[in-house]
Amino acid sequence: MKNLLIGIDIGTSGLKTAVFSPETGLVAAVSEDYPVDYPHPGWAEQDPDIWWNAAVRSLNRLWTEEKVDPADVAGLAVDGQSWSCIPIDRQGRVLHKTPIWIDTRADEICRRAEEQGLSERAFQTGQNPFKPSYTTPKILWFKEEKPEVYKNTYKFLQCNSFIEYRLTGIVSQDVCMSYGLHVVSMETGAYDPELADLLGVDLEKLPEKNLDCDAIVGGVSAQAAALTGLKEGTPVIAGGLDAACGTLGAGVYREGQTQEQGGQAGGMSICTSSYRGDPSLIMSHHVVPGLWILQGGTAGGGASLNWIVREIGAAEEQWAAANGRGKFERVSELAETIQPGSDGLVFLPYLSGERSPLWDAQAKGVFFGLGFDKTRAHMYRSVMEGVAFSLQHNLEVAAKAGAPVGEMYAMGGAANSLVWTQLKSDITGKTIHVPATDTATTLGASILAGIATGAYKSYQEAVERNVQILRTHTPDPERHEAYQKYYRIYRALYEQTRDLMHEL
């Protein structure tokens, strides 16, 4: 019986593939890790073929290790990281590694666009700031710096549409992922030829149209079936942005609900029925038709804690191995021993520049307040607090833009840490609900597959059947008050060191 749904999530550090049953929930999940290349300051890129190879391996592992029968798969959907720029030729070959979402190599192109007044025009159409992280400036970078690549490019694809192309042989793009292209109207999802001409973007090098996220792109080809083990003809659904699929998988599908993201990046996504953006924030279509999400995102969310643990956490690695537990469990335990404010140690999580609301590609990470009294535990908690301060900064900007947030629904690996989630609640003053599953992103993608194939009659039904709240964190008033001083210092630190950061 074909009743299983697959969600594939193309993350920054790895690919996750999960199988869900509409009746029983999660059936199986596997993951594959891969690297990010940092060849120059401000550059961060990946070879899309490593994503495809990871997808092939993970699917085959489902059949061999998890004993899933591919004949039972009703459909699959793919989500992934934002703002890819994958040049392929007419044979589908990748012509160059793609700059990923934290890449800022197109910073100078964005500065010129602002001087020429084009960034304001781009915002009018796409409702997003014209910044180097987005896809549009990266396309222009290829045009200027790699003219042969640009000339030979048949289409520029997003990460999920690239995997879907490999699965089906069909070029596509979903309306949610199209938000990285400023030449796409946020209102209609259609291209703006006049703006494309002004910017110098050749629309013929983009997918023909933008599909609804629950639309069927096509069936698995014979060639892909032979590689992946999927049955030929299995429906492949468009999918969307990882944050948007995670928003759905966390149970956020109605206006006014908000997702709090604790993955490699940090931030929030506010579900809204209007598409009014803000120059300091990020706007995209939700994967749920007729809705949008107003987002705020820091470049250094969970990635910041991964970095500090990698560099100074050898003792935590050893403890985890000796006790048969996870190293981040130990990190959370250590962080909990430190008072709010980390005894005066403040961290700016700008390890790869910063996205919203600063949009400063040259921002730097900072530990402020180091002393002989500071320990690894202080540094761990300070990193957690710095990421939470960046969340609070985005929430404040959203409130001023007319999108105040009440309660939030958490997703991502950071949500597994009771300490980190609680201090986010204390800092922001918001109640945070944590769903029972930490597979929100792949779950959201599988829901899209379920809607497309008729497994669910509505998004409400899908959420009610799949999302249960595991625990709820409420803010402690005294800690919230105590954090105000440290948040003020956090904000002032960037303002007072910005010029020095740029000088570096």
Average pLDDT, the chain: 96
The domain ranges of the chain are 4-253+440-454, 302-435+471-503
Half-sphere exposure of 131 (CA within 13 A, CB side): 24
Half-sphere exposure of 390 (CA within 13 A, CB side): 37
pLDDT number for residue 207: 98
Pick the CATH number of 4-253+440-454 from 3.30.450.20, 3.20.20.70, 3.30.420.40, 3.40.50.2020: 3.30.420.40
Question: Among 295-304, 326-335, 463-472, which stretch is predicted with the lowest mean pLDDT?
Answer: 295-304
> Does residue 269 carry a pLDDT above 80?
yes
Q: In what order do the strands lie in the sheet with 4-10?
A: 25-33, 14-21, 4-10, 73-80, 235-241, 216-219
> Does residue 5 carry a pLDDT above 80?
yes
- Write the Ramachandran bin of 465: left for phi over 0, alpha for psi from -120 to 50, otherwise beta: alpha
Which two tokens mark 427?
A: 């800092």
Query: Facing residues of 216 across strands?
Result: 237
Handedness of CA 29, 415, 287, 391 (dihedral sign): negative
> Does residue 1 carry a pLDDT above 80?
no
- List, for residues 360-384, the tens digit of each pLDDT value: 989 999 999 999 999 999 999 999 9
- Going by the DSSP 8-state scheme, the letter that residue 288 receives in this structure is S
> Does residue 15 carry a pLDDT above 80?
yes
pLDDT number for residue 298: 86
Within this chain, domains 4-253+440-454 and 302-435+471-503 share the same CATH topology: yes
- List, for residues 85-94, the tens digit of each pLDDT value: 999 999 999 9
Integer angstrom CA distances of residue 286 from 190, 263, 293, 321, 402: 16, 18, 5, 41, 18
Give residue 82's pLDDT band: very low, low, confident or very high (50, 70, 90): very high
Question: Among 258-272, 300-314, 354-368, 463-477, which stretch is predicted with the lowest mean pLDDT?
Answer: 258-272
Which two tokens mark 20?
A: 């869900």
Task: Specify the pTM.
Answer: 0.90
> Does residue 2 carry a pLDDT above 90?
no
Give residue 299's pLDDT band: very low, low, confident or very high (50, 70, 90): confident
Which fold is adopted by the domain 302-435+471-503?
Nucleotidyltransferase; domain 5 (3.30.420)
